[in-house]
Every structure is written in C-alpha cells, then in structure tokens.
Homo-oligomer: A and B are copies of this chain.
Amino acid sequence: MPLKSPEEYVRSVKARKPMDVWFRGEKMKDPVTHPALKPSLETMKKMYQLAHHPKFKDMLTTTSHLTGKVCNFYTSPLMSQADAMRKTRLARAMGELLGCCAFRCTGSEAISGLYPITYEIEKATGTKYHERLKKWLARIQEEDLTVTAALTDPKGDRKLKPHEQKDPDMYLHVVEKRKDGIVIRGAKLNQTGVVLAHEVVILPTTAVGEEGKVYAVACAVPVDSPGMKYVLGRFPIDLRFGDDETEMVDVGKKFADHQAMLIVDNVFVPWDRVFMCEEWQFTGKFLEYFTAVHRLTAGACKSGGLSLLLGATKLAADSINVGRIGHVMSKFAEMGISAETLYSMSLAAGVEGFQHESGAWIPNSLIAHSTKFQATLIPSNALRYAREIMSGIGETAPSAKDLANAEIGPMIEKYLAPAKEGMTTEDRLRVLRLIENLTRGTNWSAMAIHGGGNTEASRLMALRHMNLEKLAKIAEVACGIDKDEAKAVDLVSEREGKIDYGPGAFKQ
C-alpha cells in the first residue's frame, strides 16, 4: 500500500543524502532534527497520519487514474469537478487544523498544471513529455512522496524580462542540454516546506517569448540532488523554537511551516524528469492552468486559518468575559463571514471549471484569481479584530517561563487570572500566543498577502479574464445606444471569462 505512515515518512527523509541547508550562518547537521524545523516536521507527520485517519482518509486519498491503486490525493492531478471541490474543502480543513501551510498542496498544483500542458505540448511537438510526467507521477504516487512546487525566481529588476537581466541567472534557466538530460541554474525564493520534502518541481514563473526560451523549463528534482542548496528564511519568532517545553508555550502552537531560498547551482536533471524544455509558447497557458488551481487553494486555506483565528479570538474574548458583548460579536460575525467568503469563492472556482482534453479539471481562472485577490485583502480586518479583542496584554504578555518561575510566577498568576471558569493563566497565555503566532509571529498572515500571488498579480490576471468589451456591448443595448435587444440576450447567456466552461457548465 503506497500510503506512508508518519514513521515511514520520517525514515524516508532521514534517508535522503546529506543536504546543504543553512540557518543563521550555519550549515545544519540534520534538517530533520533541527529545532527550527521541528514544528514543520510535526506538520508533515500530521499530514501523513491523517491519510490513515477514519475521518479524513476518504478526503486525503484517491484512486489513481494512472495505476488504479489508492494514492494520496495530493499526488494526483485534479481529474473532476468533485476533485476541485475536494481541494477546496481539504485546504480549508487543513488550514483550520494546522494554522499553517500543509506543505503537500503546491506539489499537487504543479502536477495539476503540468498534466494538461504536457498533454498539449506532446500533442503539438511529439516529445513524450506527458508520458514522462505520468511515469514520474506513478512513482510519486507509489512511494507517497511529498512534492513542492518551485515557482518564484529572484527576478532582479522587475521591469526587465528574464533575458534582459544583467545577471541571466535571475530567472532559473537551462544552462546545458546534454544527451542524458539538462543542467539548470538559478534560484527560487519563498519555498515553503521544501527542506522536508522529497522532490521539488521546478516551474517557469512567467510567460516568455522565443528570446527567453531557456527560461521555459519544468522538471522534477529530488531535493537532495547535488547542487541544491537551501537557506532557511527568518520569521519573527523563529528563535523561540526548540525543545524547551515552557518556551514552546510562547510559540503558541505545535505546527508551523518554513520557507527557504532554494539555490539551484548547476543541477543535472535527466530527461525522464524534464516536462518542458524551451517550449516557450506554452508558458502562458501553463501558468493559467497552474495558477487556477494554486489560487483556488490559496483562498481556501486562508479560510481555514481564519476559522482557527476566530476560535482563538473567541477564547481570548471569553478569558476577559467580553465574548457576548455586541461589538465583539459583530466582529466574530465578520471574521466568520470572511472565512465563508474565501471558502465560497474557492469552491465556486472549482465548480465553474472545465474538463481539459487530457482529462484534467481546470478551475475557472476568473474566479480563482478573484479568490486570491480577496484573500490578500479580507484577512487583514480579521487580524486586526483578533488583536483588538485580545486586548493589549496579547502583545505584551510575560513569558511562560516567568509564569513558571517560583518567585514572580504567582504574581503573574494572580493578575492575569482569566475571568473564565476552568481556564488557567497558562491557558490564557497559550491562546494569546496562538493569536500572536497567526497574526505576526510566523508567516501565516504573510502567506495571505504573498502566497499564490499578491493583490496586483491577482487583479491583473482577473482583469485579463474579464470580457469588458462584452459587458460594454450589453450596456450599449441597455441604454439604447444599440437597439438590438436580441444581441444583449445572446451576450448575457455567456458567462465572463475567456475560458470555455465546457459542456454543462452554464446550465445543469
């Protein structure tokens, strides 16, 4: 059975070749046991565990359309509308449970984007990209590996295209094409989960023209390949992590994630792991397919995190007995509605997708980008409400070690005693730290802004999928500039979005 247990997972990552991982100027002896990665490891283990859990195994596993065998849902491309809806529901559920990135999502999105595009490239060029991908995929499924997607290049001067940069490595590219494979060089930023994964899928971050064809590269690379280097990113509370149980109270929760800068220093990739190599004409469409799934997910997981934050805020409010005051309940309601908004948009993006010729299900781009746009904005009020409601002490609370101290502890105990029956002062500290963790200590709120694309990128992509000319024509009929009412009726019968929704999408 291809589903690893948490223990098998840990063994598998310990079995990787020695990796080049840096943190605060030092190379890690073993990333798997390093304190900075401990909460990440917990997250990963939980993800493997849940696939066996009675309440989640139906959601977290699926039958591979390649092998007919059970595999982890995240190792399969989205193959149906139901899959897309499941992606939304899972992302929300994992966000709610973990309050951080679930790590295995981006890989599944890479797979969902590559599946249809390799089909198209293979069809157009004859190169067996799709076949390769399927073969690679079957192995990933069989071994139940965690794959992450590497998208964001350093980009250098943002006004210049990849091939115009002073340093051509500012975007990852093919350095050499050999008989047995390719050599690639560059870097990828903000890589979530990569240090504890098995494989990373390199993807182009932008559409390129012919002059930039070396930047049109997609391939799968084992994370422990020679030449792969990782520098862990800092985040505010990174130094609180460790084995000290009391200090961990100040961390606020067990699960966390990590981001790393990935340096790809002339890494060799054999041809059977290469899924795009200089087919620049397909980069735009690939990004459309990929981001449709990626942004759908980015909205849904924020929805889950918002729910967790709402739960924490409720606890904090109750600890000072303001949980039933009018304005506090108003804010609870808004926080909850925010979560539903992102969830609904993500769900609708999946529902309104279409079946690609390859068999993959592509979510609706217009709604997916709209989802991410809202996901960059909507959480910000919720963050403010959470911080406001927990009151100033949430920002200035003493450490758990002070509370545990025999001399000063009792005084803190006395003065910070919660007003809620059955809640201890330590409990109160814990929930305040959970809010701190989510709102500023770790990167959860940062991912709402950046993960899956920022406000302007989402706005731009959404705009591209709107049909303003069509709407203008409808308006022309509405106000009598154009007297042809039948035209408006025809136009209205088609939904916005350049993508054809496929059969059955508009009517049921």
Asked if A274 lies at the interface with its beta carbon under 8 angstroms from chain B, I say no
Residues of chain B within 8 A (CB-CB) of A496 are 307, 336, 339-340
Residues of chain B within 8 A (CB-CB) of A466 are 310, 332-333, 336
User: Are the C-beta atoms of A446 and B387 separated by less than 8 Å?
Assistant: yes
Residues of chain B within 8 A (CB-CB) of A235 are 395-396
* Interface stretch of the complex, out of A176-184, A284-292, A431-439: A431-439
CB of A294 to closest CB in B, whole Å: 14
Residues of chain B within 8 A (CB-CB) of A85 are 351, 508
Asked if A137 lies at the interface with its beta carbon under 8 angstroms from chain B, I say no
Distance, CA A53 to CA B311, complexed state (A): 50
- Of the candidates B430, B469, B480, the one whose C-beta lies within 8 Å of that of A479 is B430
* Interface stretch of the complex, out of A110-118, A218-226, A414-422: A414-422
User: Are the C-beta atoms of A474 and B308 separated by less than 8 Å?
Assistant: yes
CB of A85 to closest CB in B, whole Å: 6
User: Are the C-beta atoms of A493 and B55 separated by less than 8 Å?
Assistant: yes
User: Are the C-beta atoms of A397 and B234 separated by less than 8 Å?
Assistant: yes
Closest chain B residue, CB of each to CB of A321: B157
Known A233-B395, A370-B340, A479-B434; contact A506-B89, beta-carbon cutoff 8 A: yes
Known A156-B417, A187-B415, A468-B311; contact A97-B434, beta-carbon cutoff 8 A: no
Residues of chain B within 8 A (CB-CB) of A370 are 336-337, 340-341, 344
User: Are the C-beta atoms of A449 and B388 separated by less than 8 Å?
Assistant: yes
- Of the candidates B26, B311, B387, B388, the one whose C-beta lies within 8 Å of that of A471 is B311
- Of the candidates B53, B82, B247, B507, the one whose C-beta lies within 8 Å of that of A59 is B507
Known A380-B380, A490-B55; contact A327-B373, beta-carbon cutoff 8 A: no
User: Are the C-beta atoms of A402 and B231 separated by less than 8 Å?
Assistant: yes
User: Are the C-beta atoms of B190 and A395 separated by less than 8 Å?
Assistant: yes
User: Are the C-beta atoms of A463 and B336 separated by less than 8 Å?
Assistant: yes
User: Are the C-beta atoms of B336 and A462 separated by less than 8 Å?
Assistant: yes
User: Are the C-beta atoms of A408 and B462 separated by less than 8 Å?
Assistant: no
CB of A436 to closest CB in B, whole Å: 7
Q: CB-defined interface of A319-348 with B at 8 Å, one 1/0 digit per residue? A: 011100111011011101101110111011
Distance, CA A248 to CA B479, complexed state (A): 10
Q: CB-defined interface of A205-238 with B at 8 Å, one 1/0 digit per residue? A: 0000000000000000000000001011111110
CB of A480 to closest CB in B, whole Å: 6
Distance, CA A86 to CA B507, complexed state (A): 7
Near B by CB (< 8 A), chain A positions 227-261 give: 229, 231-237, 239-240, 246-250, 252-255, 259-261
Query: 17 other contacts beyond A327-B456, A431-B475, with CB at 8 A cut-off?
Result: A22-B398, A25-B399, A25-B405, A89-B506, A189-B396, A236-B436, A237-B237, A311-B476, A315-B475, A326-B327, A340-B370, A340-B496, A341-B341, A347-B351, A391-B450, A392-B446, A430-B481
Distance, CA A290 to CA B318, complexed state (A): 30
User: Are the C-beta atoms of A416 and B154 separated by less than 8 Å?
Assistant: yes
Distance, CA A237 to CA B189, complexed state (A): 22
- Of the candidates B190, B240, B253, B345, the one whose C-beta lies within 8 Å of that of A341 is B345
Distance, CA A496 to CA B308, complexed state (A): 12
CB of A168 to closest CB in B, whole Å: 12
Residues of chain B within 8 A (CB-CB) of A434 are 475, 478-479
Residues of chain B within 8 A (CB-CB) of A479 are 252-253, 312, 430-431, 433-434
Distance, CA A161 to CA B229, complexed state (A): 55
Known A349-B344, A399-B25; contact A508-B443, beta-carbon cutoff 8 A: no
Closest chain B residue, CB of each to CB of A486: B53
Known A156-B417, A312-B478, A488-B97; contact A263-B22, beta-carbon cutoff 8 A: no
Closest chain B residue, CB of each to CB of A96: B492
Closest chain B residue, CB of each to CB of A326: B326
The 3 closest A-B pairs by CB, nearest first: A25-B401, A311-B471, A233-B396
Asked if A195 lies at the interface with its beta carbon under 8 angstroms from chain B, I say no
Asked if A155 lies at the interface with its beta carbon under 8 angstroms from chain B, I say yes
